[in-house]
Amino acid sequence: MKTSVKSVDILYKTSGLIEKNSIEISKTMYILLFDLHPEFKVLFKNAPSDQHKLLAETMSSYAVNIKNIHILKPALEKIAKTHVNNGVKPYQYKIISHMLLLSYKVVLGDDATDELIDAWKEAIECVSDILIKLEKELYLKNLQ
């Protein structure tokens, strides 16, 4: 999956807004995730105490570098290795995506326009697809 030109433009234009609010968005995402899906806590048992900052940095980096996505490849490979080590499964991405988009709405309020949410949904799905593919390759490599 590839992020559409329209969504890339929206992500790029809203990168400042996302960067400014990324810490609050990521904190909110983890609160919602653990409240609504406590079974996810096990995936984060070894996560650093500043895990929300790592997610915030990832969101900001994605928005800022959306027109040069290849820059993010090393970071995405590192994330994929962490996910494999913690047993993340492909179906879990949809839940995380939903929680993250809900957090955008909670934190950004009126600034979370349908256009912004749709663009970020597309971007999150794109990143999820990349990570799922990388993780599948790692899982297969680990089986050999």
Kindly report, residue by residue over 87-100, the tens digit of the pLDDT: 899 999 999 999 99
Q: What is the pLDDT of residues 117-137, one digit of tens each?
A: 999 999 889 889 989 999 999
Identify whether 93 is a catalytic site residue.
yes
CA 71 distance to own-chain centroid? 16
- Please tell me the pTM assigned to this model: 0.87
Q: What is the pLDDT of residue 109?
A: 97
Mean pLDDT of the chain: 89
Q: Tell me which H or E stretch contains 111.
A: none
- CATH code matching the domain that covers 5-143, chosen among 1.20.120.420, 1.10.490.10, 1.10.10.10, 1.10.760.10: 1.10.490.10
Q: Which of 62, 104, 122, 135 is catalytic?
A: 135
**Tokens standing for 118?**
């749709």
- Residue 107: closest CA among 9, 17, 24: 24
* 98 close to 104: Cβ distance less than 8 angstroms: no
Rounded to 10°, the helix 73-85/51-64 angle is 150
pLDDT: is 6 or 68 the higher one? Answer: 6
Task: Report how far apart the first and last C-alpha atoms of the chain are (Å, whole number).
Answer: 28
Question: Does residue 57 have an active-site annotation?
Answer: no
Catalytic, out of 30, 62, 93, 104: 93
Angle at 71 between CA 11 and CA 29, to 5 degrees: 50
Give the position of tokens 């609504």. Answer: 36
